[in-house]
């Protein structure tokens, strides 16, 4: 036992033990620092997402103010009198939308779905809306028909639904507008 105390390494060993007890290892402090930094990064990400959402809302309000916004939908209420292929939409004699339908989309329309055809801006007051419907009519013949509607745009968002429905008395499809 005396040899142990007389050994010159003993004070160095005691000193090292005291250092380890009173001062945490460097890796522990780095881990704590990394955890704090990660929390700050997560908080910053949340703030950026919130800011991005707010900017998107502002951009939408600037690009599509309610006083000029119009949204046009298409729905289909006939199976046997008209098989829709495509729709072309003109507002004030300017083509604003053209759409070619897939079988899957037509199936969704036949089951009661509604498709958003156009969303944009128009001037307030009277506007002319022309829709051209192309498809197969009665007896599987090619069918192209246009329908013209006059709409009055007010300061609120205008929602328009173009409804394709069958008229069994005339044995032809009809194209109706519904303003919401």
DSSP string, the chain: -HHHHH-TTHHHHHHHHHHHHHS--HHHHHHHHHHHHHHHHHHHHHHHHHHHHHHHHHHHHHHS-TTTEEEEEEEEE-SSS-EEEEEEEEETTEEEEEEE--HHHHHHHHTT-EEEEEEEE--SEEEEEEEEEEEE-GGG-EEEEEEEEEEEE-SS-EEEEEEEEEETTTTEEEEEEEE-
Residues 58 and 115 in one domain: no
Question: Confidence band (pLDDT; 50, 70, 90) for 12?
Answer: low
Residues 105 and 173 in one domain: yes
CA triplet 15, 23, 29: central angle to 5 degrees? 145
DSSP lists the bridge partners of residue 176 as 163
Tell me the pTM: 0.63
Whether 38 maps to a domain, the answer reads yes
Whether 76 maps to a domain, the answer reads yes
Question: Confidence band (pLDDT; 50, 70, 90) for 140?
Answer: confident
Whether 14 maps to a domain, the answer reads no
Residues 30 and 103 in one domain: no
What is the reported pLDDT for 22?
64
Question: Confidence band (pLDDT; 50, 70, 90) for 132?
Answer: very high
Name the domain count of the chain. 2
Lowest mean pLDDT among 7-16, 43-52, 124-133, 151-160: 7-16
Residues 108 and 144 in one domain: yes
More confident residue, 105 or 27: 105
- With b for 16 or more beta-carbon neighbours within 10 A and e for fewer, the 48-72 pattern comes to eeeeeeeeeeeeeeeebeeebbbbb
Residues 87 and 48 in one domain: no
Residues 96 and 125 in one domain: yes
What is the reported pLDDT for 2?
47
Question: Confidence band (pLDDT; 50, 70, 90) for 47?
Answer: very high
Looking at the chain, the whole-number percentage of residues with pLDDT higher than 90 is: 40
Q: Which of 16, 37, 63 is the last residue of a domain?
A: 63
Residues 47 and 94 in one domain: no
Residues 83 and 166 in one domain: yes
Residue pLDDT, tens place only, 62-87:
776 777 889 999 999 876 778 899 99
Whether 174 maps to a domain, the answer reads yes
DSSP lists the bridge partners of residue 150 as 128
What CATH number corresponds to the domain at position 154?
A: 2.60.40
Residues 56 and 79 in one domain: no
Whether 16 maps to a domain, the answer reads no
Whether the pLDDT of residue 3 is over 60: the answer is no
Residues 38 and 83 in one domain: no
Whether 15 maps to a domain, the answer reads no
Whether the pLDDT of residue 1 is over 50: the answer is no
Question: Confidence band (pLDDT; 50, 70, 90) for 58?
Answer: confident
Residues 51 and 77 in one domain: no
Boundaries of domain holding 151? 69-179
DSSP lists the bridge partners of residue 130 as 90, 148
Rounded Cα distance between 136 and 86, Å, is 10
Residues 37 and 124 in one domain: no
Question: Confidence band (pLDDT; 50, 70, 90) for 124?
Answer: confident
Our CA dihedral for 38, 42, 47, 50, rounded to 10 degrees, sits at: 170
Whether 124 maps to a domain, the answer reads yes
**Up-side HSE of residue 159: CA atoms within 13 Å toward CB?**
5
Whether 96 maps to a domain, the answer reads yes
């Amino acid at each position: 036992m005396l040899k142990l105390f007389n050994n010159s390494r003993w004070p160095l060993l005691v000193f090292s033990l005291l250092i380890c007890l009173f001062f945490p290892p460097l890796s522990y402090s780095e881990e704590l620092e990394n955890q704090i930094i990660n929390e700050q990064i997560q908080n910053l990400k949340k703030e950026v997402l919130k800011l991005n959402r707010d900017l998107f809302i502002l951009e939408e309000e600037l690009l599509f103010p309610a006083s000029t916004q119009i949204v046009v939908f298409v729905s289909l209420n006939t199976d046997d009198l008209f098989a829709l292929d495509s729709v072309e939409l003109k507002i004030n004699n300017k083509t604003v939308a053209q759409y070619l339908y897939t079988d899957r989309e037509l199936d969704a329309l036949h089951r009661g779905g509604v498709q958003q055809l156009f969303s944009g801006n128009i001037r307030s007051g009277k506007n002319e809306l022309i829709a051209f419907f192309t498809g197969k009519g009665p007896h599987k013949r090619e069918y192209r028909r246009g329908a013209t509607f006059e709409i009055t745009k007010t300061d609120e968002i205008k929602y328009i639904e173009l409804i394709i429905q069958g008229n069994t008395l005339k044995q032809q499809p009809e194209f109706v507008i519904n303003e919401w």
